Structure 1
Amino acid sequence: MASRIRLFREDDADALVTLVTRSIKQIGPRKYSREQVTAWAARHEDASRFVERARQGQTILIAADEADRPIAYAILESDGHLDDLYSDPAHTRQGLAAALLCEAEATARRSGIELLYTEASELARASFERAGYRVTHRRDFEISHEGKDIPIHNYAMEKRLA
């Protein structure tokens, strides 16, 4: 399937919520418990957060299918923080994460950013490593969900561009 990378449009917001929650709920159980997946997915249910982030100047990169529907996305913040690298479960293993990371790096370089950094899940860690990021440390933390603190982890990773 052919795809292209483009910038976020406000009418993408609902599709991104569907994409990210499907991704977390369907792919997350490969490395995280049901309780962790439920708490993690609950943090991504608000479409307005995408619109707000774009309005704040964050770069939301969309991998779109032939019908121009989002099938993967990443968010690059102005300080080099790369957030939210997700692919729809029906479109994994097609090079979308690599393409988004490559475009994010090109965007960062054009902006004069010298360091990209992220917090990668167990699931995304390999994609970041293939793109040249290195783990700096494991992050153990808790997500509050329905009155409980759910322990979870990810990895602080970075890539120097200079």
Structure 2
Amino acid sequence: MAYIIRPFLRQDADELANLTVAAIQSVGVKSYTAAQVAAWAARHPGPQRFLDRAAGGDHIIVAADASDYPIAYTLIEPDGHVDMLYCHPDHTRKGVADELLAAAEQYARSVKAETLFTEASELARPAFERAGYTVIKRRDFDIPYKGKAIGIHNYAMEKPIIQKA
């Protein structure tokens, strides 16, 4: 399936919020406990977050299907921080993460970022590794959830960008 890679549009916000939670809840259980998945999903509020991040200067790149319906996205900050990479469960393992990470790198180069960096989940780590990121360290931390501290982990990863002179 061919995907359309395009910039975020305001009307994408609802669907991106929905697909984020769907991805966490559906795919997250492959590497995380039910409590970890619930705490992780609860950290992702609704569509306003996307509108605020875009208005604040962050760059959201959307992958859409042939009918221009959003099925995945990445959010990259101008300093090269790839803050989010999520794909709807029906579209995982089809190469869309690779396309989005390539588009994120192109954007980072255009704003003269020196390094791409992220905190990748256990599930996203292979996609980042395919894109040339290396693991710096495993990050173990707690997410406050329903009065408890839920332990979870991800990986600090980075990829230097060689700027052409």
TM-score by length of 2: 0.97
Deviation at 1:45, TM superposition (A): 2.8
Which residue type is aligned with residue 130 of structure 1? Answer: R
Q: Distance in 1 between matches of 2:108 and 2:117?
A: 11
Structure 1 segments of 4+ aligned residues over 3 angstroms from their partners? none
Which residue of the partner structure matches residue 52 of structure 2?
Answer: 52
1:16-45 per-residue CA deviation (whole Å, 9 max, x = no partner) reads: 111010000000000000000000001113
Q: Partner residue of 2:68?
A: 68
Q: Check the 8 A contact 1:80/1:117 in 2, yes or no.
A: yes
Specify the alignment match of 2:33 in structure 1: 33
Deviations 1:99-140 (A, max 9, x none): 000000011111111100000000000000010000000000
Instruction: Give the Å deviation of 1:81.
Output: 0.2
Sequence identity (%): 54
Distance 2:36 2:142 in 1: 9
Shift of 1:80: 0.6
In the alignment, residue 111 of structure 2 is paired with which amino acid? Answer: S
Task: Determine the structure 1 residue equivalent to 2:91.
Answer: 91
Aligned twin of 2:138: 138
What amino acid is aligned across from residue 45 of structure 1 in structure 2? P
Question: Counterpart of 2:102?
Answer: 102
Q: What residue in structure 1 maps to residue 156 of structure 2?
A: 156
- In 2: Cα distance, 1:129 partner to 1:103 partner: 16
- What's the counterpart of residue 43 of structure 1? 43
1:113 correspondence with 2:113: yes
State the aligned residue count: 162
SS across alignment from 1:137: strand
Secondary structure at the residue paired with 1:138?
A: strand
Deviation at 1:79, TM superposition (A): 0.8
Letter of the aligned partner of 2:35 in structure 1?
A: E
Partner AA of 1:105 in structure 2: E
Q: Which residue of 1 aligns with 2:127?
A: 127
1:80 aligns with 80
Q: CA deviation at 1:67?
A: 1.0
RMSD across aligned C-alpha pairs, in angstroms? Answer: 0.6
Unaligned runs of 5+ in 2: none
Kindly provide the amino acid, as one letter, of the partner of residue 124 in structure 1: A
1:10 Cα offset (Å) = 1.0
User: For the Cα contact (< 8 Å) 1:138–1:154, is it kept in 2?
Assistant: yes
How many Å separate the matches in 1 of 2:26 and 2:138?
A: 23
